[in-house]
Amino acid sequence: MTNAKTEYGVIPKEHWNIPDDIDMNLNELLKTYDYYWRVEPNVDFYCDIDFDPFVYMKENDIKYGFTLVPYESLAIIPTLWGTVKEFIRMYPNLIEDDSIFEFITDDHGKTYNLCQFWSNFEIADLNFWRSEAYTKLVNFLDKKGGFFYDRWGDAPIHTIAAALFLEKHQIRFFEEIGYHHGSLINCPKGNRLQSKCRCDPVDSV
């Protein structure tokens, strides 16, 4: 093919394959639980929490709770929404009529507006993640390869799933739980809550 000097090399399997220490099966740790509260390191909780969020969620049929709603970067998930739209076309019967779909799109579904419930704080019903609708969505997305190749994150996936499959009343903004992570803060507004908090509402974003 050529008279020029050429060099060849072999890329070791461990440089391009999924590492052996990655468990590709579902984790069994939460199998016996109905709810979880995700708590990250290096965060602050600014308010006295004088109620049980799990009991509240169970009594009020809440499936997902959040405190912060930043934007995701389109550069990270350029192919996600197109894949989600393909899923919606294939499984229209799984989409909830009384949903918050318009929360995640400003043009009736043509594009994703990148709003996401920041998942470093989330309180959720594990049975929602085990549901037929969510399981089908995750399996569909997984087969498209976006988790591995595009780094689709859990926050936009959880947000989109909640917006597609849950009724409006099943999603709750836990404003009364003052929370700080990185540069983002949720500090409750109103005299009723300020007496229980050590933050300034003007700092909320």
Domain count, the chain: 1
Q: Give the strands of the sheet with 184-186, arranged side by side.
A: 43-45, 179-181, 184-186
What number of helices (H) and strands (E) belong to the chain? 8, 7
184 in any annotated domain? no
Residue length of the chain: 205
Distance CA 152, CA 130 (A): 19
1 in any annotated domain? no
59 in any annotated domain? yes
187 in any annotated domain? no
The pLDDT value given to residue 25? 72
The question of whether 122 is a catalytic residue gets the answer yes
182 in any annotated domain? no
186 in any annotated domain? no
- Domain boundaries, position 40: 33-177
Q: Which of 59, 72, 96, 122 is catalytic?
A: 122
Q: What is the mean pLDDT of each run of 10 residues along the chain (205 residues)?
A: 78 73 71 95 93 97 98 95 98 98 98 97 97 96 88 96 99 95 90 77 85
The pLDDT value given to residue 9? 83
- CATH number for the domain harbouring residue 121: 3.90.550.10
The pLDDT value given to residue 148? 82
Nearest to 65 by CA among 93, 39, 94: 39
74 in any annotated domain? yes
The pLDDT value given to residue 19? 62
Distance CA 171, CA 63 (A): 6
25 in any annotated domain? no
Instruction: Name the one residue in this structure whose structure tokens are 């019903």.
Output: 125
